[in-house]
Amino acid sequence: MEVRVDNKVLLVTGGAQGLGRAVALEAARSGAAAIILTDRHKERGAEVASEILKLGAKAAFVAANLDERDGPAKIISAAIDKFGRLDGLVNAAGLSDRGSVAEADTALFGGRFGCGFAAL
C-alpha cells in the first residue's frame, strides 16, 4: 500500500533517530513539501534534515525537549514561522532505554511518550 503526503508540511518529534528518522525520510519520499524535525540531539537532527533535503523536500530542525513546559509551543511556532502552516504531526519521541515492550510498565508506551499521527 502506498501512502502519499503530497504537499503536506509535517512535524516529526523524535526525528533524529530510530522510528522518527524513518518516518521523516519516508514522508520526504512520499511527497511531503516540508518536514520539521525535533529532537534533543542537534547533530543527528541536522544530519537527518540534510538527508531530507537530498530527497527533494524542505527541512528544518528544532532542538527541543518535550519534557519542557514551553517545548511543544516552541516547536509548533518554529514550524509555522518556517513553512507557514502545519498539516500533520507524527509523535515518535520516546525513550527505549527504560525497558523493553515485554518488561516495561505500560505507562511508558502511552501518554506524551506514545507514538502516533495526527492530521491537523
What is the tally of structural domains in the chain? 1
| Per-residue pLDDT tens digits for 44-101 | 999 999 999 999 999 999 998 777 788 888 889 999 999 999 999 999 887 655 555 5
CATH number of the domain to which 54 belongs = 3.40.50.720
Q: Is residue 30 part of a domain?
A: yes
Determine the pLDDT at residue 1. Answer: 67
Range of the domain at 41: 9-95+105-119
Per the domain annotation, does 2 fall within a domain? no
Q: Which three cell numbers stand for residue 97?
A: 532505554
Residue 4 lies in a domain: no
Cβ atoms of 35 and 8 closer than 8 Å: no
- Is the residue at 67 inside a domain? yes
Q: What's this model's pTM, rounded to 2 decimal places?
A: 0.79
Structural domain includes residue 71: yes
**Exposure b/e, 57-81, CB count within 10 A at least 16 = b:** bbbbbbbbebeeeebbebbbebbee
